[in-house]
Amino acid sequence: MTHHFVIIGGGPAGNQAATYAARLGARVTMIERDVVGGAAHLWDCIPSKTMIATGGAISFSHRIGGMGLAETTPSVDIDALNRRISGIKDHMRDDTTELLRSQAVEIVHGSARFTSPHSVAVTTAEGERTLEFDSALVATGTRPRIPEWCQPDGDRILTTRDCYPPKVFPESMTVIGSGVTGVEFVHMFASFGADVSLVVSRQQVLPGKDPEAAAILEDSFLSSGVRLLKGARATEIERTDDGVVVRCDDGRQVSSSHAVLAIGSVPNTDGLDLAAAGVEVDPSGYIPINHHCVTNQPHIYAAGDVSGKLPLSSVASVQGRKVAEHVMGLHTVEHRHLDYDKAASAIFTEPEIADVGLAEAEAFALGRKIRVTKVPFATTPKALINNDPRGFVKIISDPATGVVLGGSIVGQHAAELISVIALAVTANLTVTDIVESLLVHPALAEALAQAAE
């Protein structure tokens, strides 16, 4: 009998697991209550990066004065922007659906919950349907965390999911939370001309990231007029006639037309009745997994954000693929464990920030000897040609062997350039391997080769 693999959730983790398991010979059913492609396509990565790209075009227009062109200020057409975001989302949903169908994956539109260790009930528009399975994957993602002191209204008090784009473009915006999502929203609204304030609970934006990268970003924010309220925790948001007032625990307050919460996520595990399948969750509701993404039930897997590992679409996809390999028994011959410490990540601000592998602070905390080399982009002709010399490439390597352990990049195209360091970290390449690569000239990647010297 063909192995029946049931997947709950059609985001990056669910999709990858579905297509790959089907290719390997499983009978696959995917249950999605909303849109195939998941929150990643509908609410998170794709719409935010689409808006950031448009904001980036506006920022670029402010730099063309230095490129021999007369400066102009483009005006935002909110309807056209909305159509563009919807167009990209629809295109991606259709492409993903077609790929799944081409692999004979059955897509069931509905909301799933477990009824036993080998069955789920799906509530669909046509009624309830029961599916029996040999193995199952929970890939239900997360949703924005709403604190008890504030109730978003989708109008002036927003979650990140109310912003693509908001009904009325904000004149002023207070962003609460200075992690990756918070700073991307600051950049997004500031580049569209909003007057932005950022509530930063610590003394540095992007806690846990390279302090030099965070400092460059803070300078960039300050020079574009962003107000930073450091060391402050928001404790209350009051609606006024024409906006909101955000109050902080140190007595400071800030008024703006809108406020957006970017204070993390909670897992979509409530309503799944995981107890019926005997699947355990941790105190925060995430599903603990082992290195094969297996839960405490050997035939039930969890992948993507709901697994509480790195909340990145890229990581969710690779986890999904690993799950498919394990379900079909391939792990015994070809499986390589996922090393979350080697995942590259990027922050789509201006300048972009990307990093991978071991960070300097982490190495010091571990007492590990490292070699750190840093080269500013300003030393490359391409940065001058592009009229944007901001940022640097930093490579961290083992002083004894030259093996690349990590790195960070701040500047134009950092999200693309980090791939070189990510490959080196994953494949245990040395700095000499990077130096001896015959790279393009003129290119920003030349800073990589210099930093590896």
Ligand X SMILES: Cc1cc2nc3c(=O)[nH]c(=O)nc-3n(C[C@H](O)[C@H](O)[C@H](O)COP(=O)(O)OP(=O)(O)OC[C@H]3O[C@@H](n4cnc5c(N)ncnc54)[C@H](O)[C@@H]3O)c2cc1C
| Footprint of ligand X (CB under 6 A) | 8-14, 31-34, 38-40, 44-45, 48-49, 111-112, 139-141, 160, 181, 268, 271-272, 304-306, 311-314, 316
**Smallest distance from ligand X to CB 45, Å:** 4
Angular region, 211: left φ>0, alpha ψ -120 to 50, beta rest: alpha
CB of 323 to ligand X, least distance (A): 11
DSSP state of 163: -
- Our CB check for ligand X shows the closer of 34 and 134 to be 34
Token pair 């948001």 is found at 237
Shortest Cβ 215–ligand X spacing (Å) = 22
Question: Which residue from 323, 353, 333, 335 is spatially nearest to 415, judged by alpha carbons?
Answer: 353
Find out whether 417 and 409 touch, Cβ atoms under 8 Å.
yes
Q: Quick one: 97 or 313, whose CB is closer to ligand X?
A: 313
Determine contact, residues 323/301, Cβ cutoff 8 Å. Answer: yes
Nearer to ligand X by Cβ, of 303 and 431: the residue is 303
Which one, of 298, 319, 299, lies nearest residue 308 by Cα?
A: 319
Q: Which is nearer to ligand X, 319 or 386 (CB)?
A: 319
Least distance from ligand X to the Cβ atom of residue 91, Å: 17
Nearer to ligand X, 303 or 405 (CB): 303
Q: Cβ closer to ligand X: 267 or 391?
A: 267
Using alpha carbons only, give the angle 436, 441, 443 rounded to the nearest 5 degrees.
100
How many other β-carbons are positioned within 10 Å of the β-carbon of residue 314? 15
Give residues with Cβ within 8 angstroms of 86, minimum separation 6: none
Give min distance, CB of 49 to ligand X, in A: 5
CB of 262 to ligand X, least distance (A): 8
Pairing of strands 353-357, 404-410: antiparallel
With respect to ligand X, which residue has the nearer C-beta, 164 or 380? 164
Name the minimum Å distance from CB 252 to ligand X.
26
Contact 373, 208 (CB under 8 A): no
Distance CA 159, CA 27 (A): 38
Nearer to ligand X, 107 or 403 (CB): 107
Contacts of 344 (CB under 8 A, 6+ apart): 314, 354, 355, 356, 418, 419, 421, 422
CB of 429 to ligand X, least distance (A): 23
